[in-house]
Amino acid sequence: MSHAPAKAFLRALAGETVTPPPFWLMRQAGRYLPEYREVRAGCRGFLDLCYSPDKATEVTLQPLRRYGFSAAILFSDILVVPDALGQAVAFKEGEGPKLPPIRDGKALAKLSLEGFASHLAPVFETVSRLSKAIPAETALIGFAGAPWTVATYMVEGSGSKDFIETKKLAYGQPDVFKALIDLLVQATGDYLITQIDHGAEAIQLFDSWAGVLPEDEFEKWVIAPTQRLVERLKRERPGIPVIGFPRGAGALLLPYVEKTGVDAVSLDTGVPLEWAAKMLQPKVTVQGNLDPILLITGGEAMDRAIDRILSTLGRGPFIFNLGHGILPSTPPEHVARLAERVKAWR
Amino acid sequence: MSHAPAKAFLRALAGETVTPPPFWLMRQAGRYLPEYREVRAGCRGFLDLCYSPDKATEVTLQPLRRYGFSAAILFSDILVVPDALGQAVAFKEGEGPKLPPIRDGKALAKLSLEGFASHLAPVFETVSRLSKAIPAETALIGFAGAPWTVATYMVEGSGSKDFIETKKLAYGQPDVFKALIDLLVQATGDYLITQIDHGAEAIQLFDSWAGVLPEDEFEKWVIAPTQRLVERLKRERPGIPVIGFPRGAGALLLPYVEKTGVDAVSLDTGVPLEWAAKMLQPKVTVQGNLDPILLITGGEAMDRAIDRILSTLGRGPFIFNLGHGILPSTPPEHVARLAERVKAWR
């Protein structure tokens, strides 16, 4: 009797050096693919796509068929969590998301976990279907936004440049903001555990706006809630690895890795490779970090950058990825070239 | 005969620990002040204000009268450089700057240093006037955008989120982009030397978008041009200190400090204080880094953050500042509270 070898992606997350490294790309299901645009055109709105198991399953699978990624990531959006808590989210064509902003205890009190799971039932159904549909060697990643990043959208009511309203609340009324973060830790934990129960084999926490906070506020609103969330996942669903992506954290990546308990950290484009190899990779698996615009550029500039990442990080526990999501103007053939190059590396 | 003690700001830049530390705030002349808004209302456009020595001098002096900052910074904009090179810049109300984008060698060839100095004559006149008008204990800072950051506006034709066009040019046609950067190194050097000759006593280089580049591109487009610029300033105008502000550089702050030759580095809001004290302050004077939104919040949250910065960085060569520019919604009385607190620190 022999054990089938575990999936390469999960072995890397367990701390193994896998050669060539497993690879996937943030936003690998997306607008750069014509077959995605076709499915998207048949939806009323963006959230409609997230809440349609047929369509969400299909778009998740599309890039796997083309490129043979080592992992599939559930197609969804980080804002389904506030949406399911009762803060209705709207995506208008050509604009970012809009939400009725939450800036005091009264607005916060209207949110509720009642009906949360049933609102998200279509997402869980998508996870179930994906879990059966993906190839045997491919891992399935579930995900959520980290509490801080989701809170910025909830307080600003949209995307933001300065995060003035969120920071005013966090700095000036920390009790109210803490209550919002606590609710998100609870809701996000429930959400991720149910994803795991439907077949997600690893979790990624997207903290896209982690980089805008000063050190002590980063401790309070990025590290502490992530640590609580990871602790609960590890306690209630042991063995499921967690990847954190605190984008723009800079030198704060080190305390993030040391304190949150994540199994892996996803590196944004700006993280220096040798620093990551020396400071982070001895502690956790690292993932990243090709500039998505090098994937638009393609050619030898892209090849050189891929090789540099592979040679600096590929001799330890590593997953190849971008430093940020794929951009819509990316030529699909450049993704094919990247996939070939990573797969051929020894 | 006795030597008058040098200005506190310049002593700190020379590596001295000054107690209490000198302080100024990025965008200290700006929309948060009613007297600024009054002058601004009398101008056709924003650049009109930059090119009017009477008005630019007046708004530069306004915050000194209120708060007794240790330094005045010339009121101008980083985009006067492309404007003077022949790439006309327009600021539309409520929008960012607009420029006819430069994305190939042909567009680049239309730019010229001819007429550059005369176009900027009003700025130099402002520097002259300020040099006579500021209090004896106050230092005068000249400034420019660093080549990379100015180039992003020139290539995008506006502000940007992803810098796709700039990076496509830098990664895909590095020769063309290098020619643009070379022109900017030359023009910016000329510009700063003339500011010094009119009375600027220190220089700050704003590299607001330094943080979006991967390590090896950061070396090419942030570190190398800055190093060339600093080298020329040191050679042609020895004794004038240079402060670099590579915003968002994260762990890349360290090679920036080691390689560019700057005398001081300005820290953005996200730079961890103890890391800066340990890694950067032994090499250069540090400046920063209160979150501008704590200045909006005010009160004890602001006081605590000020104290933490002072106690971590104030025992070495240090200049108190924000981590980013003052925001228009800042209450002027919070700036007064900050000024009192920094001045009272021992």
Per-residue pLDDT of A299-319, as tens digits, reads: 999 999 999 999 999 999 999
Does A296 contact B164 at a Cβ distance shorter than 8 Å?
yes
Least trusted range by pLDDT, from A3-7, B195-199, B260-264: A3-7
| pLDDT of A3 above 80 | no
Class of domain A8-344: alpha beta
Separation in Å, CA of A109 to nearest CA in chain B: 23
Looking at chain A, the whole-number percentage of residues with pLDDT higher than 70 is 99
Tell me which chain A residue has its CA closest to the CA of residue B166: A293
Residues contacting B85, CB < 8 A, separation 6+: B111, B112, B113, B116, B183, B187
Q: Determine the average pLDDT of the residues in B98-117.
A: 97
Q: Which of B273, B294, B329 sits opposite A215 (nearest CB)?
A: B273
Given the residues A36, A51, A67, A153, select the one marked as catalytic: A153
Over residues A222-262, the pLDDT tens digits come to: 999 999 999 999 999 999 999 999 999 999 999 999 999 99
Q: Determine the average pLDDT of the residues in B176-199.
A: 98
Q: Determine the average pLDDT of the residues in B282-295.
A: 98
Active site residue B197: no
| pLDDT of A94 above 90 | no
The residue written with tokens 């950058």 in the block is A305
Given the residues A11, A27, A129, A228, select the one marked as catalytic: A27
**How far, in whole angstroms, is CA A22 from its chain's centroid?**
16
Active site residue B268: no
| pLDDT of A1 above 80 | no
H or E, element range at A226: helix A224-236
Confidence of residue A2 (pLDDT cuts 50, 70, 90): very low
Separation in Å, CA of B148 to nearest CA in chain A: 15
DSSP annotation of A29 reads S
CA distance A63 to A75: 11
Does B212 contact A269 at a Cβ distance shorter than 8 Å?
yes
Given the residues A11, A32, A36, A77, select the one marked as catalytic: A77
Does A297 contact B172 at a Cβ distance shorter than 8 Å?
yes
Over residues B298-340, the pLDDT tens digits come to: 999 999 999 999 999 999 999 999 999 999 999 999 999 999 9
Does A172 contact B297 at a Cβ distance shorter than 8 Å?
yes
What phi and psi values does residue B154 have, to the nearest 5 degrees?
-65, -35
Confidence of residue A92 (pLDDT cuts 50, 70, 90): confident
Looking at chain A, the whole-number percentage of residues with pLDDT higher than 90 is 96
Does B163 contact A251 at a Cβ distance shorter than 8 Å?
no
The tokens for B162 are: 């992803």
The residue among A215, A221, A269 with the most chain B CBs within 10 A of its CB, best to mutate, is: A215
Over residues A60-80, the pLDDT tens digits come to: 999 999 999 999 999 999 999
Given the residues B32, B67, B77, B207, select the one marked as catalytic: B77
ipTM above 0.85, yes or no: yes
* Coil, helix or strand at residue B271: coil
What phi and psi values does residue A136 have, to the nearest 5 degrees?
-60, -30
Confidence of residue A4 (pLDDT cuts 50, 70, 90): low
Partners of residue B269 in chain A, C-beta under 8 Å:
212-214
Instruction: List strand residue ranges (DSSP E) for chain A, in order.
Output: 71-73, 90-91, 97-98, 139-145, 202-207, 242-246, 264-266, 285-290, 318-322
Partners of residue A172 in chain B, C-beta under 8 Å:
297, 299, 301
- DSSP letter for each residue of A33-75: SHHHHHHHHTSSSHHHHHT-HHHHHHHHHHHHHHH--SEEE--
| pLDDT of B92 above 90 | no
Separation in Å, CA of A234 to nearest CA in chain B: 29
The residue written with tokens 């100024």 in the block is B24
Residues B53 and B119: beta-carbon distance below 8 Å: no
Does B171 contact A327 at a Cβ distance shorter than 8 Å?
no
Separation in Å, CA of A316 to nearest CA in chain B: 20
Q: Tell me what the pLDDT averaged over chain B comes to.
A: 97
The residue among B155, B207, B215 with the most chain A CBs within 10 A of its CB, best to mutate, is: B215
Burial class for A118, CB neighbours closer than 10 Å (0-12, 13-18, 19+): exposed
Separation in Å, CA of B1 to nearest CA in chain A: 47
State residue B95's pLDDT score.
84
Confidence of residue A93 (pLDDT cuts 50, 70, 90): confident
CA distance B246 to B221: 12
State residue B1's pLDDT score.
44
Q: What is the largest CA-CA distance in chain A?
A: 62
The residue written with tokens 């492309």 in the block is B82
- Quickly list H helices, B134-252: 147-156, 164-172, 174-197, 215-218, 224-236
State residue B5's pLDDT score.
61
| pLDDT of A21 above 80 | yes
Q: Which of A213, A271, A290 sits opposite B250 (nearest CB)?
A: A271
Over residues A143-172, the pLDDT tens digits come to: 999 999 999 999 999 999 999 999 999 999
Q: Which of A250, A299, A308 sits opposite B216 (nearest CB)?
A: A308
Partners of residue A216 in chain B, C-beta under 8 Å:
305, 308
State residue B94's pLDDT score.
78
| pLDDT of B4 above 60 | no
The residue among A148, A161, A171 with the most chain B CBs within 10 A of its CB, best to mutate, is: A171
Active site residue B77: yes
Q: Determine the average pLDDT of the residues in B196-224.
A: 98
